[in-house]
Amino acid sequence: MTAGLDPFARLRALTRARIGLGRSGDALPTRALLDFQAAASQARDAVHAAIDLDALRRALAPRACIEVASRAPDRTAYLARPDWGRELGQGMDALDAARGDYDLAFVIADGLSATAAMAHALPLLDATRRRLAGWSIAPMVLARQARVALGDAVAQRLGARMVAVLIGERPGLSVADSLGVYLTWAPRAGHPDALRNCLSNIHAHGLDYERASGLLAALATEARQRRLTGTALKLDVSLPASESR
């Protein structure tokens, strides 16, 4: 090996994983250590950040929005009691009042990274809606202290045949603002996760909005035709060749 060359440089260009960081004595080099500590702080901040529903509502205007919250009264309870995050605690009356005959309901939820929901949910939503012309879309639902399954209760009350939950994913040490989307046909209380489709890693260094929206629209279209989501749908849905490159 030629002295002075970094054998890991080519691999680092292909991944955000921390590889070949080197060492200073028995410890990490100072820069690598500081980068690690900064990433850990960003992940903790993302978990505890509050979603700004007012900002989302303004950005979505003039589209109708409904605000809901889970049974978890605050972030501490939300993290300690995942089951509370799956049950509606506020907003039921507004959902019932908006009940209709909808093909699809969208829910923007904080999940474990409100940072991700604030950064990526609206661009993804706009790109997806453009691909679903002619669909009957329920009023937008904005959810606090929410887990994925909260979308089931929301869609049931709205009368939607399918729900897409745009939710912040658990932060890691490489990405603190990753968004996930969970698509569910015929949502109901106690719906198993095996009957959902998931798109994950939507962020600046992962899945971009155009490809994610193309996949989501294709999955939703196929789900509506076949009246199902979940593992049986994953293998059958692909983007047209022009969008898969």
Sheet holding 65-70, edge to edge: 88-90, 65-70, 140-144, 105-109, 162-168, 179-185, 196-202
- The reply to whether 108 falls in a domain is yes
Q: In this structure, are residues 65 and 43 in contact, taking their beta carbons and an 8 Å threshold? A: no
In angstroms, the Cα distances linking 150 to 84, 100, 116, 232 are 9, 19, 18, 23
Q: Which domain holds residue 147?
A: 48-243
- The reply to whether 217 falls in a domain is yes
Q: In this structure, are residues 123 and 209 in contact, taking their beta carbons and an 8 Å threshold? A: yes
Cα angle 69, 73, 74 (rounded to 5 degrees) comes to: 105
Whole-model pTM: value is 0.86
What pLDDT is stored for residue 32 in this prediction? 77
- The reply to whether 146 falls in a domain is yes
- The reply to whether 3 falls in a domain is no
What pLDDT is stored for residue 4 in this prediction? 56
User: What three-state secondary structure class fits 27?
Assistant: strand
What pLDDT is stored for residue 235 in this prediction? 56
What CATH number is attached to the domain comprising 163? 3.40.50.11240
Provide mean pLDDT across the span 168-179.
87
- The reply to whether 183 falls in a domain is yes
Question: Does 83 score more than 80 pLDDT?
Answer: yes
- The reply to whether 167 falls in a domain is yes
What are the pLDDT digits (tens) for 10-69? 777 777 777 777 778 888 888 877 777 787 787 787 787 889 999 999 999 999 999 999
What pLDDT is stored for residue 241 in this prediction? 46
- The reply to whether 8 falls in a domain is no
**Domains identified in the chain, total number:** 1
Q: What is the DSSP string of 110-154?
A: -TT-HHHHHHHHHHHHHHHHHT-TT--BPPEEEEES--TTHHHHH
Question: Does 1 score more than 70 pLDDT?
Answer: no
What pLDDT is stored for residue 239 in this prediction? 52
Residue length of the chain: 245
Q: In this structure, are residues 166 and 108 in contact, taking their beta carbons and an 8 Å threshold? A: yes
- The reply to whether 70 falls in a domain is yes
